[in-house]
Amino acid sequence: MMNKLNSKIILIIGMLIGLLACSEDLDLVSEGNSCPVVYCLLNPNDTVHYLRIAKSFQIFSNAMDSPPVSDSLIYDEDFYAYLVENDVNSGKEIFYFEPCDKTDRDSGFYHVENLGLLKVKCQIKTGTEYSVYIYSPELPKLIVGSTMVIPSFEILDPVYMPGREVTLLPDQGFDLRWIHNYKYAVYQPGVRIHYLEGDADFQVQKTVRLDLPEVFSYTEAATVVDYLNGANFYKGIIQQLSLPPPGKKRKLIGFDFEVCAGGEEMALLRQGERDENNPFSQIRSYTNFDGAQGIFSTRVFQTSHNNRFSDITENYLATSAETKQLGFLAHGEEF
C-alpha cells in the first residue's frame, strides 16, 4: 500500500518536472539556412544553354507586395560549372559554363541585376544523358544533376495543307494531336493567332497568344490528343484583345500551333506543383539535383505554322454578340 502511494507521488512529481522543463519559446521565424536553387533546361534545337543559380530566401510578408532584394538571392562567390555528355557511342565530353551577363527577360517577378547566370555553347544530342556539376567555395557541397535529353516530337494536327481549314465555334472544338516517343513528359500547348489591324490605307500584322492547359503524358510511343475548346478560344480572344482604335478594323489571317515539351523531371515538378490532391502531392519540391533545389531537364519546341480558319469561324468572330465589338471583318469583307 505504501509502495503504491510512493510510486504515485513519484509519477506526479515526474510529470510536474517534465511539464516545467518544457520551453514554450518557439522561434517560428528563425532565419534558417538558405539552399542553392538551380535551373538548367537544355534545348536540343539551340546551341547556347543557360544555367541559373540563386539561393532560397525567407518571406515574412506578402511576397507579391515586396519582391526580394538582389542580395538575398545571389551568392557572392564565383561558380565553376560544367556539363558532361555521357554518349554511349563516343564517350564522355565536357563543356564548361562561362559567366553570362544576359539580363533580358520577357516576364518575371524577381530583379534582373546580378543574376547568377552562366552559359555554355554546345550542341545537345537527343536521347543522350547529360550531367551538370556546380562548385563554389560558398556552397556546402558539389551540386550534381543528371537528365536524359528527350528527342523532338511531331505535331500531327493541325498541320498545314492547302485548302484545309479549322472551324471553331462555341460548340465545335478541334482535336490537337502530336506524337512522341518518350515516356514521361509535360507539354505546354498554345495558339498564336495572327490578324491584320488598320484601315483601307494601312494595316499592321498583330498577334495574340492563347495558352492552353498543360498536358501530361505517361505512355511511350503514343499519340497525345488534346482539345482546343471552341468556347474557351473565343473567351481567350475577348480577354486578350482590347477594342480596336477608332476607325480601325481587324482581319483574321490564321494561326500557329506551338507546343513546348518538358522532360521527365519537368513533368514531375509541374505535376507536383499543379494539384495538391494528386498522387504527386508529396513531391511539391521535386528536384533532380543533389545538393540543391531546382530542376535540370530538357525543353523542346515544335510549331505548326500557317493554319487557316474557315469562313464560318471568321463570320462568327465578326458577328456574334460576344465578339463583334472586337472589330473583326467577316469572310470576304475588305478594309
Partner 1 sequence: MSLFKYLPLVLVLLFTQCDPFDDLAGSEDPSIPEDYGYAEVEFILPDYKGIPKEGVHRVALSFSYTIDSLFRSEYFEKVNVSDHKALYRLVFPAGEYYWEAVITCSCGGDTCLNGGFPGGKFGMKYDFDEFLVVTGETTTIKTRFTY
User: Which positions touch partner 1 (CB under 8 A)?
Assistant: 156-157, 159, 161-167, 172, 174-175, 177, 223, 310, 312
For 20, 189, 232, 314, the CA distances from 306, given in Å and listed in that order, are 76, 16, 21, 16
Cβ proximity to partner 1, 16 vs 179, nearer residue: 179
We find the least distance from the C-beta atom of residue 167 to partner 1, in angstroms, to be: 5
Nearest residue to 145 (alpha-carbon basis) of 294, 300, 299: 294
As measured in angstroms, the least distance from the Cβ of 179 to partner 1 is 9
DSSP symbol at 169: B
- 94 versus 161: smaller Cβ distance to partner 1: 161
Min CB(311)–partner 1 separation in Å: 8
Nearer to partner 1, 139 or 318 (CB): 318
Bridge-based pairing of strands 143-148 and 185-198 is unpaired
Q: Are 304 and 158 within 8 A, CB to CB?
A: yes
Task: Rank residues 50 and 187 by Cβ distance to partner 1 and give the closer one.
Answer: 187
Q: How far apart are CA 220 and CA 217, in angstroms?
A: 8
Q: Which is nearer to partner 1, 138 or 333 (CB)?
A: 333
Neighbours of 67 (CB within 10 A): 12
Amino acid type, 305: H
* Residue 249 backbone class (left: φ over 0; alpha: ψ -120 to 50; beta: rest): beta
**Residue 192 CB, nearest distance to partner 1 (Å)?**
18
Nearer to partner 1 among residue 108 and residue 162 (C-beta) = 162
Residue 253 Cβ, how far from partner 1 at the closest point, in Å? 18
Smallest distance, partner 1 to C-beta of residue 203, A = 26
- CA distances, 280 to each of 107, 158, 254, 283 (Å): 28, 32, 38, 6
